[in-house]
Structure 1
Amino acid sequence: MTPHPAPRTRGAALFDVDGTLVDTTYLHTLTWWMALRQHGHTVPMVRIHRAIGMGSDRLLDAVLGADRRAEEDEAIAGAHGTLYATWFDTLTPFEGAAELLRATAARGWRIVLASSASDEEVAAVRARLGADDVIDAATSGTDVTATKPAPDLVRAALDKAGAAPEDAVLVGDTVWDVEAAGRAGVPCVGLLTGGTTRRELQDAGAVLVHDDPRSLLRHLDSSPLARPPR
């Protein structure tokens, strides 16, 4: 997909994708659970859900422990990718997600999707989101070696936008988003759409928490996304 030309501003609005713009958190939970079972691991879904938002390496550390058989990682992650791909045609953006991106872009921000998913997953989500007319750039797992809560993904998104940390805001739905943003020096607005509580997001350092994209859209002018730095 051809990136949208960047507006004449340094400000970058970085948006996590899964669980923030598109309702995929519990699909990922289910398909990781199924992939793990295929490889002989029965893990409570709640433990998997708490790790969603991390990259596959960190997620497997969280749900199986660092002393797991690491040689299984690629096969488990591959099984998850195959299972998750069966849902591509039914992925559903949250109400107001595309409108939020357009309203943010209209205020002069560069819009960057900050995801560590595969290129195929990012493309599938973008197709369902239907907002490529205002998306300037997007990251994927090929852009980073260390995934959230490491700051690498946020820094890669900043590089795509040509923006400094002080000129950016990240919108995300997990504590891993908030922590990664904080380590990169970027404020984070949290959404409750991934199943993380308001208190957890605030305790992780979110500067503002809204219920969902539509709520943030309604209050955009009183948020850090009201206008970009000049």
Structure 2
Amino acid sequence: MAVSTVGRPATAADPLVPPRRAVVFDLDGVIVDSFAVMSEAFALAYAEVVGDGPAPFEEYRRHLGRYFPDIMRIMGLPLEMEEPFVRESYRLADRVTVFDGVVELLLTLRVRGLRLAVATGKSGPRARSLLDRLGLLPFFAHVIGSDEVAQPKPAPDMVLRALELLDVPAEEAVMVGDAPTDLASARGAGVASAAALWAPPHDVDELLAAGPDMVLRRPADLLALCASLPAR
């Protein structure tokens, strides 16, 4: 079965699993394929601020889910890279695409009565701008950026804020992410975590080693965990 927990299947009909009333999504690598744009924006920012030489994008990608300034500190790169990186990301935003199956997933979750939010390593304005450009913003009750909480991922603040805004207890939500930082944030908030594996290329071993509660190999797999809710 594509959707699983450690040791046994997990479905919406499982009597040991509370009904899911909300889903919190990461953005990059889960909803949108933005890696080519990220790579180009990162290379341009590196050349502008640091100078010649290959930009260490693969190392940068290992830290995705974190806020850009935090990644710069971890990598020992100048914080001044943020301005050109954001500038180029906006300029190239029309190249970002939505993963196959995501729109259908969001439509079905909304029809089933679930509330949806985004908790992303991007800043809130940039995330909302991108989702609006792609026509996806109306699906989400709330979009929370790393600049809108005291501590971004891997701290639980973003997921806790999403639960507060959605008015849903932790045991009735699931967080979908493609990075260990997403899973750590979910775990800290007491929310079940689902690892999304549909963004190639992907370090599956590293993600699975982070201990997700569920593994999703395609967006539609999430539907097995999210039954229709009774009308209120």
1:86/1:132 CA distance change after superposition, 3 Å: closer
Paired with 1:106 and 1:149, the residues of 2 have a C-alpha distance of 31
Given that residues 198 and 209 in structure 1 are in contact (C-alpha distance below 8 angstroms), is that contact kept between their aligned partners in structure 2? no
Q: How many corresponding residue pairs?
A: 210
* Residue identity matched to 1:225: C
* Residue identity matched to 2:47: R
Cross-structure match for 1:22: 32
Paired with 1:227 and 1:177, the residues of 2 have a C-alpha distance of 25
Cα deviation digits, residues 38-80 of structure 1 (max 9, x gap): 221654221111122211122112322xxx6xxx42x221111
Paired with 1:86 and 1:31, the residues of 2 have a C-alpha distance of 9
1:62/1:226 CA distance change after superposition, 3 Å: farther
Cα deviation digits, residues 54-113 of structure 1 (max 9, x gap): 11122112322xxx6xxx42x221111001111122221111111111112222210112
1:1-230 equivalences under 5 Å are 11-40=21-50, 42=53, 43-64=55-76, 72-73=78-79, 75-192=80-197, 193=199, 195-211=201-217, 215-217=218-220, 219-222=221-224, 224-226=225-227
1:53/1:26 CA distance change after superposition, 3 Å: farther
* Residue identity matched to 1:190: A
Paired with 1:26 and 1:50, the residues of 2 have a C-alpha distance of 15
Given that residues 165 and 185 in structure 1 are in contact (C-alpha distance below 8 angstroms), is that contact kept between their aligned partners in structure 2? yes
Identity of aligned residues (%): 27
1:194/1:27 CA distance change after superposition, 3 Å: farther
Q: Structure 1 regions of 5+ residues with no counterpart?
A: 1-8
- The TM-score with structure 2 as length reference comes to 0.80
Q: CA RMSD in A?
A: 2.5
- The TM-score with structure 1 as length reference comes to 0.80
Q: Structure 2 regions of 5+ residues with no counterpart?
A: 1-18
Offset of residue 226 of structure 1: 3.7
Cα deviation digits, residues 11-48 of structure 1 (max 9, x gap): 22111111110001342233223212322165422111
Cross-structure match for 2:8: none
